[in-house]
Amino acid sequence: MTEFSKECMLEAIRFSKQNVDDGSGGPFGAVIAKDGKIISGASNKVTSTNDPTAHAEMEAIRSACKILNTFSLAGCEIYTSCEPCPMCLSAIHWARIEKIYYANTRKDAADINFDDDFIYNEVSKSVDDRVIPMVQIMNREAKKVFIDWKEKEDKIHY
Amino acid sequence: MTEFSKECMLEAIRFSKQNVDDGSGGPFGAVIAKDGKIISGASNKVTSTNDPTAHAEMEAIRSACKILNTFSLAGCEIYTSCEPCPMCLSAIHWARIEKIYYANTRKDAADINFDDDFIYNEVSKSVDDRVIPMVQIMNREAKKVFIDWKEKEDKIHY
């Protein structure tokens, strides 16, 4: 572990601790770094902002994208005080982050009653086997829009 | 399919089509409904807002939570013009949405070059087998914060 990695993770843990101290969300923090510099950091803000998607990693990603003025975090690393849940892991993929450092595991999260492991299992199931019912309707109408997109010449890829 | 479900999905598809027409993001739309009423709707805003997490479902969830002033969408349904990616499916779980209607599939999405299926596969792998390297550091320091959380008496569960 480099000194810089240690510094980044300490900052992520500091964000997680801040939430325990001031009560603004779950005990999670994350930091995005690029080229040996911290770009952004955040704590979980689910309960303080009424946003179930406001996990620390999501907030740090959104913030880094604003600061760097891009939807791609290629070349960046994320430091998170806990193994990312599948929402955050997927967001890390969409953001093209290249390396993940984590401290607590999903098992540690389960021990304090966070359901990451349950959602990992659900995401891995086939559509018909999931707890939340998934019903397909109107595929024909929706697919027309996909064809329009395919044929659109000036689209921005992401 | 009820008339109301048809109305909701048509609105989600309208949001997806809007993006193809005005170029503000990918061809995806979503609507949240509760008790026979549409609460919120959104299109994908990844490229227009430089936010890789701004999928249509995420935007519709955030918007519905703002409108209902809560981080729980228990009792709500989501209508999405395409099967949710694992980020959005996980967010649907965190938001406690109870039913998912979708139109296009992840296979349809792959046909127009969206990598949902790749990310589904990654999320299902064990930590050590993933394409993005995941390195655990400083578990001892981070776990202290989890213990503080466990012992905190006035925490807000979510």
Give residue A155's pLDDT: 87
Question: Does B26 contact A149 at a Cβ distance shorter than 8 Å?
Answer: yes
Residues of A in contact with B143 (CB under 8 A): 103-104, 108
The reported pLDDT for the residue numbered B65 is 98
The answer to whether the CB atoms of A50 and B69 lie below 8 A apart is: yes
What the block records as the tokens of B112 is 């127009």
Q: Is residue B75 classed as helix, strand or coil in its secondary structure?
A: coil
- What are the pLDDT digits (tens) for B29-71? 999 999 999 999 999 999 999 999 999 999 999 999 999 999 9
Kindly tell me the sign of the dihedral angle through the C-alpha atoms of A78, A12, B54, B47.
negative
Residue A121 forms contact with B (CB below 8 Å):
no
Decide if B150 touches A, using CB distance below 8 A. Answer: yes
Residues 22-81 of A with CB under 8 A from B: 23, 26-27, 46-47, 50-53, 58, 61-62, 65-66, 69-73, 81
Q: Does B110 touch chain A (CB under 8 A)?
A: no
pLDDT of A115: 81
What pLDDT, in 10s, does the model give residues A49-66? Answer: 999 999 999 999 999 999
The count of CB pairs under 8 A between chains A and B is: 276
CB contact under 8 A, A158 and B61: no
ipTM: 0.96
Cβ-contact B15, B41 below 8 angstroms = yes
CA distances (Å), origin B128, targets A82, A110, B26, B111, B131:
16, 20, 32, 29, 9
Q: Give alpha helix (H) positions in chain A.
A: 3-22, 46-49, 56-68, 86-94, 106-111, 116-124, 139-151
A128 touches chain B (CB under 8 A): no
Chain A positions in Cβ-Cβ contact with residue B53 (cut-off 8 Å):
53, 58, 61-62, 91, 94-95
Q: Which residue has the tokens 């009423």?
A: B37
What does DSSP assign to residue B146? H
Give A35→chain B minimum CA distance, Å. 17
The pLDDT tens digits of the residues spanning B114-147 come to 988 999 999 999 999 999 999 999 999 999 999 9
Band (A32; pLDDT cuts 50, 70, 90) = very high
CA distance A78 to B132: 11
Tell me the whole-structure pTM to 2 decimals: 0.96
pLDDT in tens, B72-98: 999 999 999 999 999 999 999 999 999
